[in-house]
Structure 1
Amino acid sequence: MEYLLQVKICALFGLLVLTLFFGFIPARLKWFRNPNGTERDRTILSLISCFAGGVFLAACLLDIIPDYLSDISSELDVRQVETSFPLPEFIIAAGFFTVLIVERIALNCRELRGAPGEREPLIPEVRNHGHGHGHGANPEVENSGHHIHIDFQAHSSFRSFMLFLSLSLHSLFEGLAIGLQNTESKVLEICVAIVVHKSIIVFSLAVKLVQSGVPPLWLAAYVGVFAMMSPVGIAIGISVMEAQLSSGALIQAVLEGLAAGTFIYITFLEILPHELNSSGKQLLKVLFILLGFGIMAALTFLG
């Protein structure tokens, strides 16, 4: 077995193990699931959630969208496609509206069946007593006297799944980038960057899934599948290199665009409103959003 292939296989297993480790920290610790702890515990959970929001914002603006625009532009140039229509941006918008339409249909069907859990508005109505929830909020949290925005009903299971799906697609393409490299140094360079980046992402994803009330078995499945996406991408890249195939790059770029549109929807209409629509410690919450964004921006700058 040639040395380059050995390096790629080591990267495959290393990414899998480290992603599972960081993903199962929020999943395994009951502290992350407890909405009735002390005020200090609830504040820490809220700030961790804000940090995760900053991470997702940076991933959206500094990672997913730039990668997609670069890939789609390269593919259009290779195929000598010239148009004044903003096709790359239109593909992103298609991903955005696909999620919007599917979610509205899903919520409408659940409402017709009388299921109250998914009826929460995306941006909850602000009531006079300063709470930013809809009527489906956890009453124990509402009545605790210290309003920290960690209710389990604010995220629908559909939105949690779409967040997981968009991140998983992007993770698959990251792994594909490793598998398609032809030098050992480049494989190691990209792998180290992805390990650091993905460890923060999977931790933040697991926190969001926990706070969305996803059942433990489903949460384990989400984290497990997400952890496998980069290794699967590496394996696909290795197969393409071994088979000397060059097709499919345009399809990958289009899928990246749809994933980017999905992520824009989740980030700006779900995660950030969820964190900022509650009263109390607003400046501290903004600080932690900036902290999450800043760390990811620094990693991008160094990477």
Structure 2
Amino acid sequence: MSGQASNLSDLFDDHDHDHDHGTEDSDGVVLAKGTAMAVLFCASMICGLIPLFLARKLRWVSAAEATDMKSKNRVIMILLSFGGGVLLSTTFLHVVPEVDEGIQYLQEKGKIGELDFSLAQLLMCCGFFIMYLVEEIVHMYIHYREKKNGRNAPLVRNLSVRRSRASSEGKENGDKSVTTSTADLIDPASIIKGKDIEINGQGMHSHSHSHGHGHSHMPVTSSDDVTSALRGLLIVLALSIHELFEGLAVGLESSTAHVWYMLGAVSAHKLVIAFCIGVELIATRTKTWVAVIYITTFAIVSPFGIGMGLVLVGGDSAAASGVYSVVLQGLASGTLLYVIFFEIWKNDRTGILQYIAAIFGFALMFGLKLLTGHSHSHSHDEIQSHSHSHSHDVGHGHSHN
């Protein structure tokens, strides 16, 4: 009898130890996600405000007064290409396999039936097309407002930073305003076109001639201030849509190492975009308080996405939290795919340096993946092992750990 009592005591001690260990791990993941939210927000704010700070300190009144910005624009393009390589590696070597593992886990638990197709890839494609549709709707509304008011909205550009090497001998259609992705909503390349800015009694009118087809207007009359601010905010929100899903991808991770891994991947391109927005706000001479609102809006969406993931799954994996979390993670992977090919690597080439930067970004995240791969390979096994051990401990009075 005493031996059985001792075994029973050891059983509960082991179970309590496993539970405490799991709680500590979960708390660590929650803490990592909270830290990631703060870091991503602060870093995005800093990168976005740096151009505004420099504009004040260096007395940058207009884009024309910035020096050597063409070479800096090339640097920005290379950094974005690096971010594209980072996201490509993250999407196909981390997020999609994790979604696939989550689906397999749910199928083993009977929550998802056996399918004749790959659900992970289908979810990724759905996320891609959802993002495509949302952006097209936003752009339709923006251009409808432009036609209705007879002018372009602030921040709208036909040229993105990724297209700044387009030939200047091409089309001269300065009055055409058609954007096809949120990449077209910011244009750091405009800072090398600033000498074409004209200021008259009606407002500021900025033309782009260096690349052949950029054109923007930014009325500065007091009656248009509110309308312009609201339009610019809408455009920044459109630019921020995929950032929300990227944050969600971070928030749905199940281990501390994976949270930091995804944070690095998202930051690699978000911080560059934040800087680009700040530069563009200088070029359009946006009021300081309006610019701060734009930058804050862009900076906060990714942390908000992380917070959404944290609320949904806490410190557990997406699979352990149910079908909806795995579905959201799959949709987020499609968003990353959209960002890579429609935002970063779209219709431009800056030479071999861009290629090298992309390869370097891919290789860097692949190396980090190898370092964190061990913990990832056991994440779902640990969930299954804990569940299996708990059920047998209660049902049979002994542990299989």
TM-score, normalised relative to structure 1: 0.69
Q: Give the conservation status (yes or no) of the 8 Å contact 2:47–2:271.
A: yes
Q: How many residues align?
A: 279
| Residue 89 of structure 2 is aligned to residue 81 of structure 1 | no
Matches within 5 A, 1:1-303: 2-29=23-50, 30=52, 31=54, 35-40=63-68, 42-64=69-91, 67=94, 69-71=96-98, 73-74=100-101, 78=107, 79-83=113-117, 87-88=122-123, 90-91=125-126, 94-95=129-130, 97-99=132-134, 101-117=136-152, 121=158, 134-135=174-175, 140-142=194-196, 153=216, 160-177=236-253, 180-181=254-255, 187=256, 189-213=257-281, 215-238=291-314, 245-260=321-336, 262-264=338-340, 266-267=342-343, 272-273=346-347, 282-283=350-351, 287=353, 289-290=354-355, 292-303=357-368
What RMSD over aligned residues (CA atoms) do the two structures have, in Å?
Answer: 4.4
CA distance in 2, matches of 1:291, 1:132: 33
SS in 1 for 2:250: helix
TM superposition shift of 1:258: 4.7
TM superposition shift of 1:221: 2.1
CA distance in 2, matches of 1:152, 1:19: 33
Q: Give the conservation status (yes or no) of the 8 Å contact 1:60–1:264.
A: yes
TM superposition shift of 1:90: 4.5
CA distance in 1, matches of 2:123, 2:248: 20
Q: For the structure 1 residues 161 and 52, does the alpha-carbon distance in structure 2 shift closer, same or farther, using more than 3 Å as the test?
A: farther
TM superposition shift of 1:301: 1.3
SS in 2 for 1:116: coil
TM superposition shift of 1:81: 1.0
The AA in structure 1 aligned to 2:32 is: A
The AA in structure 2 aligned to 1:263 is: V
CA distance in 2, matches of 1:102, 1:265: 19
TM superposition shift of 1:113: 0.7
Q: For the structure 1 residues 109 and 100, does the alpha-carbon distance in structure 2 shift closer, same or farther, using more than 3 Å as the test?
A: same
TM superposition shift of 1:52: 3.7
1:224-245, CA deviations, whole angstroms, 9 ceiling, x for partnerless residues? Answer: 232343244234322767xx74
Q: For the structure 1 residues 69 and 191, does the alpha-carbon distance in structure 2 shift closer, same or farther, using more than 3 Å as the test?
A: closer
The AA in structure 1 aligned to 2:70 is: T
1:143-195, CA deviations, whole angstroms, 9 ceiling, x for partnerless residues? Answer: 7999599x8959x9566534421122122122211xx34xxxxx2x2233234
TM superposition shift of 1:46: 0.5
Q: For the structure 1 residues 23 and 166, does the alpha-carbon distance in structure 2 shift closer, same or farther, using more than 3 Å as the test?
A: same
The AA in structure 2 aligned to 1:140 is: G
The AA in structure 2 aligned to 1:82 is: D
TM-score, normalised relative to structure 2: 0.55
Q: Give the conservation status (yes or no) of the 8 Å contact 2:157–2:216.
A: yes
TM superposition shift of 1:109: 1.6
The AA in structure 1 aligned to 2:273 is: L
Q: For the structure 1 residues 114 and 264, does the alpha-carbon distance in structure 2 shift closer, same or farther, using more than 3 Å as the test?
A: farther
Greater RCO structure (CA 8 Å; 6+ sep): 1
- What's the % identity of the aligned pairs? 9
CA distance in 1, matches of 2:309, 2:340: 23
TM superposition shift of 1:217: 1.0
User: Which structure has the bigger radius of gyration?
Assistant: 2
CA distance in 2, matches of 1:192, 1:97: 28
CA distance in 2, matches of 1:194, 1:100: 24
Q: Which runs of 5+ in 2 are unaligned?
A: 1-19, 108-112, 178-189, 198-206, 218-230, 369-401
SS in 1 for 2:63: coil
CA distance in 2, matches of 1:27, 1:171: 18
CA distance in 1, matches of 2:321, 2:71: 49
SS in 2 for 1:248: helix
Q: Which runs of 5+ in 1 are unaligned?
A: 182-186, 277-281
